[in-house]
């Protein structure tokens, strides 16, 4: 019986080569960004009489890119990710969403959303 679920699946392109960070006293983590794109047509989308009319009425294509911060903690997966994943790679990530807070260099509290792969 599952009473709650926190699961996300993303397919996108890596924004920069992964980096490995280690905070004193904690296990290392591999971090990278992943871009996903959402595309849609703007304008009149009513069905026309024929294929040509339909193409003419669909309008322009718009796109929105969303950037996701991915963190990999599991030792084997963390190391393979760091070694083989590169900027521009198209990859599938499965994990959970984590909402956290941190204090930036100006001592301002900020919220951060991370996908734990």
Q: Which position has the token pair 């083989």?
A: 84
pLDDT tens, residue by residue, 47-106 = 444 444 444 455 688 889 999 999 999 999 999 999 999 999 999 999 999 999 989 999
**Residue 39 DSSP SS3:** strand
Distance between CA 87 and CA 93 in Å, rounded? 15
Q: How far apart are CA 32 and CA 18, in angstroms?
A: 5
Distance CA 15, CA 33 (A): 5
Domains defined for the chain, CATH in brackets: 8-39+61-116 (2.40.50.140)
Q: What DSSP state is assigned to residue 51? A: H
Structure confidence by residue, pLDDT tens digits, 8-61 = 999 999 999 999 999 888 899 999 999 999 988 776 444 444 444 444 455 688
Evaluate the CA torsion angle 31, 79, 86, 68 in order and state its sign.
negative
29 token code pair: 């983590």
How many Å is the Cα radius of gyration of the chain?
20
């Amino acid at each position: 019986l599952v009473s709650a679920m926190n699961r996300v699946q993303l397919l996108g392109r890596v924004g920069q080569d992964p980096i490995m960070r280690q905070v004193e006293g904690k296990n290392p983590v591999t971090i990278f960004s992943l871009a996903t794109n959402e595309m849609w047509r703007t304008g009149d989308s009513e069905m026309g009489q024929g294929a040509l009319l339909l193409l003419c009425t669909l309008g322009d294509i718009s796109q929105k890119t969303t950037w996701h911060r991915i963190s990999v903690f599991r030792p084997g997966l963390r190391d393979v990710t760091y070694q083989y994943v590169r900027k521009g790679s198209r990859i599938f990530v499965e994990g959970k969403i984590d909402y956290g807070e941190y204090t930036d260099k100006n001592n301002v509290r900020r919220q951060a959303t991370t996908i734990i792969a």
